[in-house]
Amino acid sequence: MILLIITTIAFSLFAVRLVDLQVIKGSDLAAQAINQRIKTQSIPAIRGSILDATGQPMATTVEARDVTADQTLIADPAAVGAALAPILGVDPGILANRLTGTRRYMFIAKGLSPTTWRAIEALRLPGIFSEETQRRIYPGGDLAANVVGFVGADGKGLGGIESSMQTLLAGKAGTQTYERGSGNRIITTSDVTSTASVQGSTVQLTIDRDIQLVAQRQIARQVLSARADSGTVVVLDPKSGHILAMATAPTFDSNTAASSPDNVRGNRAVSEIFEPGSTSKVMTMSAVVDQGAANAGTAFTIPGTLKRGGKVFHDDVAHGTWHLTLAGVLAKSSNLGTILASERIGGKKLNTYLQAFGIGESTDSGLPGESRGMIPDYKDWSPTTFPTLAFGQGLAVTSLQAASVFATIANNGLRVQPRIVKSIISPDGIATPTPTPTAIQVVKPSTAKQILLMLEGVVSKGGTAPKAAIPGYRVGGKTGTAQYVDPRCGCYNGEVVASFIGMAPADNPQLVVAVNLVNPRNGRFGGQIAAPVFKRVMTYALQARSIPPTGKTAPRLLLTAG
């Protein structure tokens, strides 16, 4: 009887438990069991490519594999680690540690090539699986890296066009849900659901990779030779606003961006600002001529010094009284002559022209991290602001803004918004050109033509940049050697930015090239160290774009008066 009673009680308990498990909690437990077997996996969208203007890839996506492990299925982690080590190039002990435990899902390696995964798959190691993914590669390495940018470990853009066009390039990931048994997918299950991924769009840039390559090589060479902190080259088509090249030195390889210093991964040509110095005199002279206050032949008597607002101004070289034409003032880059010329129109009108040239506003080129530059509000001008602005101090520009100023003159006074994106190509191959950039008439065409003639004088033997001359072509341009404002103290510390910006052919400009070198220690003046870079880059670009010499002789403007 006792045994019967105990047995009855035991069976009663089992019955209660069985009812609890199968009836009361049955549906919940079944759901939990299914959830343990069900896996939802993201199906990555193929990231769109980045192309140069000719359709050559600058960034593209290739198939890759992420290798994962189910630790509960690995009986001998040391043996599995030893087998994987030579293929992955990882220490066997490190792999053994990652393979040991009770985790059902553990990353072992990411972004492997399909060939590497096939070598692992051939080992038939229990508990080792793979997932389809993708890997971003940059065929040119450091080619236009500061423009193109790079992606992080999660595949998201972290710099350059990769960042600014992230949404378009990324597309939309899909999902796939399936049932697993003993760590493996059950192929025959009817419970598989999926949402297809949507491929990203392709972004075609205005960059010409061949011109870009030459620009990068030349600025890197000159930064090294001049022992400069950095340098930039910008090549513009003044009529379309297309940025054909934008080179920065030092630079980095987009394929290994994570291992490069932070300070080389940005785009200095649009993010760093500096006082333009004498290259800014082009805007002052344009304003004076456009207002009819002087022309290329107008005579100026220039003393050795000028006192304005309680400050004594002087030129780069000490001199007695000079008698120069306005063309001569520009050719010799006289600060004092520029001040005298600007006083014929006054500060308010000069300020209007500086703003019309785009100083103090973003070019909206499509590049991330672009600075607006800086120009003081007219109401805040001190007695010395006007004269210093006239010859290029007290305002700040980016390399792209400075190039845009000269492109405006090269384009008959019409300022065309610079742009870096040529078109967006949808996944089905339909290309949509970017909208026509905005254009503003800054000065009259007749003014631009007169300034172009004056700029040719700068490249003549009597000017400051004969090293920029290109045999067979008429070339115009302007040198600049501006004091560099140290951002750490907001003061001048003796460092300079040496520049040369020019266009060719000067009688029908097709290209503008701007060169800037920051804090050169071997050489100082733009005509000495920036002009040769201009010459080499411009010479190649003219040939690459099949732009012939005009065959016309440049008219000789008088540089001296009296």
The residue annotated as part of the active site, out of 130, 278, 404, 460, is 278
Domain boundaries, the chain: 209-251+267-421+435-544
What pLDDT is attached to residue 183?
45
DSSP state letter for 384: T
What pLDDT is attached to residue 484?
73
What pLDDT is attached to residue 413?
98
Q: Which two tokens stand for residue 359?
A: 């100083």
Q: Which two tokens stand for residue 298?
A: 């107008």
* Spatial separation of the C-alpha atoms in residues 482 and 480, rounded to whole Å: 6
pLDDT tens across 477-506, in order?
999 988 776 666 666 667 899 999 999 999
Is 280 part of the annotated catalytic residue set?
no
What pLDDT is attached to residue 469?
94
- List of residues 6+ apart from 304 with CB closer than 8 A: 314, 318, 319, 320, 321
Task: Extract the residue ranges of the chain whose pLDDT is less than 50.
Answer: 182-189
What pLDDT is attached to residue 25?
62
> Terminus-to-terminus CA distance in the chain, angstroms?
139
What pLDDT is attached to residue 178?
63
Asked if 84 contacts 120 with a C-beta cutoff of 8 angstroms, the reply is yes
Q: Is 68 helix (H, G, I), strand (E, B) or coil?
A: strand
What pLDDT is attached to residue 184?
47
pLDDT tens across 515-543, in order?
999 999 999 899 999 999 999 999 999 99
What pLDDT is attached to residue 195?
81
What pLDDT is attached to residue 22?
67
* Spatial separation of the C-alpha atoms in residues 518 and 232, rounded to whole Å: 9
Asked if 403 contacts 516 with a C-beta cutoff of 8 angstroms, the reply is no
**Taking the mean position of all CA atoms in its chain, how far away is CA 556?**
40
Question: What DSSP string describes 17-66?
Answer: HHHIIIIISHHHHHHHHHHHHEEEEEEPPPPPPEE-TTS-EEEEEEEEEE
Asked if 52 contacts 121 with a C-beta cutoff of 8 angstroms, the reply is no
CATH topology of domain 209-251+267-421+435-544: Beta-lactamase (3.40.710)
CA torsion angle 534 535 537 539 (round to 10):
150
Q: Is 168 helix (H, G, I), strand (E, B) or coil?
A: helix
Identity of the amino acid at 532: P
* Spatial separation of the C-alpha atoms in residues 177 and 283, rounded to whole Å: 63
SS3 assignment for 424-459: EECCCCCEEECCCCCEEECCCHHHHHHHHHHHHHHH
Q: Which two tokens stand for residue 322?
A: 């000079």
Question: pLDDT exceeding 70 applies to what percent of the chain?
Answer: 90
Phi, psi of 523 (to 5 degrees): 105, 155
Reported pTM: 0.85
Q: Which two tokens stand for residue 467?
A: 């090293």
DSSP state letter for 159: E
- List of residues 6+ apart from 134 with CB closer than 8 A: 44, 46, 47, 61, 62, 63, 64, 155
